Amino acid sequence: MGSASFNVGAMKDIIESAPATPVGAWSADAPISIDDCSVFLAYGSHDDPTIIDCVGVEIRSADFEMPPPPYFLMNATGDVIDRADIPIVVTLAEFRSLPIDGGVLEMQPAAAQVLVNIETVAWSTARTHVLGTTILGTPVEVRATPIEWSWDFGAGTQRFATTTPGGPYPNLDVSRTYVRTAASQSIGLTITWAGEYRVNGAGPWLPIAGTTTTSSASSPFDVVEAPARLVVGALDQG
C-alpha cells in the first residue's frame, strides 16, 4: 500500500501505512476532558482500534481536515463518532484565548502627583461585552461579564476587591488615602471575568466552566505633601 499524508488540524502528518504501535494513550475505563483527549483518530477494526493520536483540540478548529477511510473518530468511552455529533462547547481554554476588553483604569486626580491625606479615587471602564468565535465551523457568541475587581494602590496600602467598578468623585467605593510620600507609584487592577456562550446567535446563554482575568495599571504618579506657605493679608474667600 502506498504512503499518503493528511493534514489533521495542527497535528503532525499521518501516514496511511500507520505504525502498529498507538501514539496516543487511551483507556475506555478512564474518560478524559474534551480539552485533552476526548476525541481520538483511529484506524483498523472498530472493535479493536489502533489509536493514532488525540484530536480533542484540533477537531474543534475550522481548518480540521478528516482523513478518508480507513480512519475514523472515537470518543473516550470507545464509541465511534462523527464530527457533526460532537457538541459545541466553549471550553475554559477557548474562553481564556479570546481578546477580552479589560477597559481602562481611570483615577482622580488624573495627574503626575497626588496628595497625602486626601482620597485618591480610581474606577474601571470594563463592562459586559460579546465576542465572536467559530467552533466546529459554527459561529458562536461569547459574553464576558466582569464579576470582581481586585485593586492594588501600592505605597503601603492593603489590596482589596470590589464587585462594582467604582466611579469618579464623589463615588468613593474605590479609593485610598496615602499617609506617606512615595515616588513612581501606580494603581494595579485585576478583573475576574465569567463567561457564557450561545450557538448561531440563538438559544439560551450557557455558562462556561471557570473564569479568566485581565490586568491593567494606571499611569505612574508620585505621592507628595502639599507645601505650606506663609502669606501676607487675608485669604481670598471667593
Domain-by-domain residue ranges, the chain?
A: 5-85, 92-224
Alpha helices in the chain (DSSP H): 92-97
Distance CA 53, CA 128 (A): 39
Q: Which of 5-14, 66-75, 156-165 shows the lowest per-residue confidence on average (mean pLDDT)?
A: 5-14
Tens digits of residue pLDDT in 210-231: 999 999 999 999 999 977 666 5
* Rounded (to 5) percent helix, strand, coil in the chain: 5, 40, 55
Q: Rounded to 5 degrees, what angle do the CA atoms 10, 15, 19 make?
A: 110
Answer yes or no: are the C-beta atoms of 142 and 100 closer than 8 Å: no
Q: Does domain 92-224 have CATH number 3.40.50.10860?
A: no
Q: Rounded to 5 degrees, what angle do the CA atoms 107, 110, 112 make?
A: 120
Please give the single-letter amino acid code of residue 224: V
Distance CA 145, CA 193 (A): 5
Tens digits of residue pLDDT in 101-116: 999 999 999 999 999 9
Distance CA 92, CA 31 (A): 18
pLDDT value at position 237?
55
Span 184-191, mean pLDDT? 97
Distance CA 30, CA 210 (A): 23
Residue 32 scores a pLDDT above 60: no
Answer yes or no: are the C-beta atoms of 56 and 35 closer than 8 Å: yes
Answer yes or no: are the C-beta atoms of 210 and 93 closer than 8 Å: no
Q: Residue 8 — pLDDT band, cuts 50, 70, 90?
A: low
Structure-block grid coordinates of residue 199: 450557538
Maximum average pLDDT range among 28-37, 142-151, 197-206: 142-151
Q: Residue 19 — pLDDT band, cuts 50, 70, 90?
A: very low
Q: Rounded to 5 degrees, what angle do the CA atoms 104, 146, 126 make?
A: 20
pLDDT value at position 73?
92
Backbone conformation region of residue 78, classed left if phi is above 0, alpha if psi is from -120 to 50, else beta: left
Tens digits of residue pLDDT in 143-166: 999 999 999 999 889 999 999 999
Q: What count of Cα atoms within 13 Å lies in the side-chain half-sphere of residue 103?
A: 22
Paired sense of beta strands 221-224 and 113-115, if any: parallel
Residue 17 scores a pLDDT above 60: no
Q: Residue 28 — pLDDT band, cuts 50, 70, 90?
A: very low
Q: Residue 39 — pLDDT band, cuts 50, 70, 90?
A: confident
Residue 167 scores a pLDDT above 70: yes
Tens digits of residue pLDDT in 80-139: 998 888 888 888 988 999 999 999 999 999 999 999 999 999 999 999 999 999 888 889
Q: Is the pTM of this model over 0.75?
A: no
pLDDT value at position 25?
44
Tens digits of residue pLDDT in 53-70: 888 777 777 677 888 888
pLDDT above 70: percentage of residues in the chain: 80
